[in-house]
Amino acid sequence: MQTRVAYGIQAVRKALARGLVERLYVVDGLGAKRLGRLAGDIERSSAPVVVAAPQELQRLTGTDKHQGVAALVRGASTLSEREAIELVSRVATPLVLALDSIQDPRNFGSLLRTADAAGVDLVVAGRSRNVGITPAVSKVASGAAEVQPFAEVGNLARFLVSLTELGVQVIGTEEAAPRSLFELELCGPVALVFGAEGQGMRRLTRERCDALVRLPMNGVVESLNVAVAAGICLYECLRQRSRLAPPGALR
């Protein structure tokens, strides 16, 4: 298990509730309102509490937007390519989120949060072209960074080929794609691929996709934020799968 720094009231509360905090840092003089939001979670946790100066929290988190609280959080280790393939192979109908060159920590944190909420089995990204799980990402993810299965691979295009060999349909998202997402059957094993805002997927990534789809855009805005677009696509998968699953079967 890896240890990461999480900060911000909501992210730390989620980590406390899940029993993932190894050490909690609270700024000296934290206001009664913020302390009150944490009190119950602290009482139920066995993690030691350290009262720290604001400068210490800024050094620990790398930002002054820590809201007066930070934690050393025990999270799941980042999976290797082999471990990721083994995980997918054990799932009857896997749902994978593949990210190509996402470098904005806020977007990446939102993507992890949405993936966790939608029951994604694996989030995968290229090792050299993705922001990775940083304290800023963890804050935005609000606890999802510590529990969502995540893999970093050396070659994302090659990994997509491995998914295809496992019977996973690889679907890339692109503004100029000829088909709408809502035209596809998404009830089987699926990997949804998203590229960086502005640049989209790289050529090799695009070429490894079995299909390219777009989201219909009926207004003056040409595209959606990548985290918003991913949320729409993932929940369309859940909507379609819910028609076939017995009540309570979907996470």
**C-alpha to C-alpha distance for 201 and 169, rounded to whole angstroms:** 17
| pTM listed for this prediction | 0.77
CATH number of residue 109's parent domain: 3.40.1280.10
Percent of the chain with pLDDT over 70: 94
244 pLDDT more than 60: yes
Residues 28 and 92 in one domain: no
34 has pLDDT over 70: yes
Within this chain, do residues 52 and 138 fall inside the same structural domain, yes or no? Answer: no
Write down the pLDDT at residue 251: 44
End-to-end CA distance of the chain: 24
pLDDT for position 124: 97
Q: What is the pLDDT of residues 199-211, one digit of tens each?
A: 889 999 999 999 9
User: Is residue 200 in some structural domain?
Assistant: yes
Express as a percent the part of the chain with pLDDT over 90.
Answer: 53
Task: Answer yes or no: is 251 within a domain.
Answer: no
Boundary-marking domain end, from 56, 75, 94 = 75
Please check whether residues 100 and 71 belong to one and the same domain: no
Residues 164 and 63 in one domain: no
Q: Please check whether residues 110 and 173 belong to one and the same domain.
A: yes
Residues 162 and 123 placed together within one structural domain of the fold: yes
Residue 249 within a domain: no
Per-residue pLDDT tens over the stretch 200-241: 899 999 999 999 999 988 877 777 899 999 999 999 999 999
List the Cα angle 202/97/229 in 5-degree steps. Answer: 80
The CATH number given to whatever domain includes residue 49 is 3.30.1330.30
Name residues whose C-beta falls within 8 Å of residue 217's C-beta, 6 or more positions apart in sequence: 175, 223, 224
Whether residue 153 sits in one domain with residue 29: no
Cα separation, 23 vs 82, in Å, equals: 32
Asked whether residue 85 falls in the same domain as residue 54, the answer is no
**Residue 229's pLDDT is what?**
94
Question: Which of 49, 75, 101 lies at the terminal end of a domain, its last residue?
Answer: 75
* 174 in the same domain as 149: yes
User: Do 64 and 101 share a domain, yes or no?
Assistant: no
pLDDT in tens, 37-77: 888 888 888 889 999 999 999 999 888 888 899 988 876 66
Domain end residue (candidates: 75, 98, 114): 75
208 assigned to some structural domain: yes
CA dihedral (60, 66, 69, 75) positive or negative: negative
pLDDT digits (tens, 9 = 90+) for 103-143: 999 999 999 999 999 989 999 999 887 888 888 898 888 87
Residue 111 lies in a domain: yes
Q: How many folded domains does the chain comprise?
A: 2
| 225 within a domain of the structure (yes/no) | yes
Average pLDDT value over all residues in the chain: 88
What average pLDDT does range 26-32 have in this prediction? Answer: 85
Range of the domain at 129: 81-242
169, part of any domain: yes
Q: Name 228's Cβ contacts closer than 8 Å, sequence gap at least 6.
A: none
- 107 and 221 housed in the same domain: yes
Whether residues 64 and 180 share a domain: the answer is no
